[in-house]
Structure 1
Amino acid sequence: PLTYQCDNEDPSSLPLLYLDMIEEDSPSINVIECQDGDSILTYLGVDDSYIQRALPSKTQTMLNESTIEINIHTEEDPHVVKIGQSLNTSEQATFTTFLRTRNQAFAWSYADMPGIDPTIAVHNITLKPDSKPFKQKLRKMHPRIALL
């Protein structure tokens, strides 16, 4: 699945892999042309099965996985995180323990991020202090635009 199919009819479609320099004094570039059906990862020395294990399967993506909420702090001050429901009980316990021991590493509010410039996290609406608020008149819209 992670292969590049070469089109030998068009030489410009062949991928070029630029590898490390051979010697510091004489830099060189190795150009490797792949054959039909060859994997680029094979030339790089990466096993396709390793990549496939690292990637989520097509049938179950990580974004669509159902989650469970876990409180990793106290009941009075809850810090809720979500972990995958497909994990077995020992993995859930391991993740929960890990997250509880590393609770201080997470920023739960802007006060927990002292190095962040407040102008990034604070939104201000500039108003004149002596101005009086008023309601603007209702503007008519074209019916076709109003439905959007």
Structure 2
Amino acid sequence: MFSLIISIIAIALVVALAGATLYYGGAAFRDNGIKTTVAEYKNESAQIVGAINAYRVQQGGLPSDFTLQDLVPEYLKSVPEGEWDIQDNRVIRTGVEELVCYRANEVMGFEFDPAEEGVDALASDSSKGIPQCSKSDLPFDVPCCSSATT
């Protein structure tokens, strides 16, 4: 009987520890997932931009009907997963969660006021902004994930 009581107490302690880990560590697990996605997004974008630059140098520019598939296999092994677009010499990944887009800008040191034209407010915090890809004065290296044209 004594060992049964000890076993029940041990199981209850394990359940309590697991619950506390999820409760207190949940934000850390979620943030690490977002950081991983941001790093993936930035890495894939940089690969595409590098391949486009190499293509431009070797081919003397981009044809009007250029697609990312034109880079395969000479400049890229394959086009990274996801929906990618090129608008005004900017590589854009569509379908990216807004928090990932905001964090990508934050990591690169860019902040936007949601009151500015061409900037959307972050749904979870309306004091923070995400630039639209169609924003006229947006520097080339700023990650944009939303577009008025898509």
Do both proteins adopt the same fold according to a TM-score greater than 0.5, normalized to the shorter chain?
Answer: no
Higher helix share: 2
TM-score by length of 1: 0.18
Q: Which has the larger radius of gyration?
A: 1
- RCO greater where, 1 or 2, for CA within 8 Å and sep 6 or more? 2
Higher strand share: 2
TM-score by length of 2: 0.18
